[in-house]
Amino acid sequence: MEYYIIAVVTILIGALIGDRKGRAGAGAFFSFLLGPFGWLLILAGPDMRQNTASGDHLQRKTDTV
């Protein structure tokens, strides 16, 4: 029974790590297959979230009418 609890906790941690990188499903999957090594794989992988800050708010408007 304790193996199931450890497996579920490992998968949840992987999903949380993956969620921060936009890859929750991959985090859960690799944690299921590889355990804590799956966490490292997700941490080392690319961030798949879309950049919400496009930089438009950083540019000054030069048109003053």
Q: Please state whether the predicted TM-score (pTM) of the whole model is above 0.75.
A: no
3-52 tens-digit pLDDT: 999 999 999 999 999 999 999 999 999 999 999 999 999 999 998 887 65
CA distance 23 to 16: 9
How many C-beta atoms lie closer than 10 Å to residue 58's C-beta?
Answer: 7
CA distance 35 to 15: 12
The 3-state DSSP composition of the chain as helix, strand, coil percent (nearest 5) reads 65, 0, 35
- Specify the pLDDT at position 55: 53
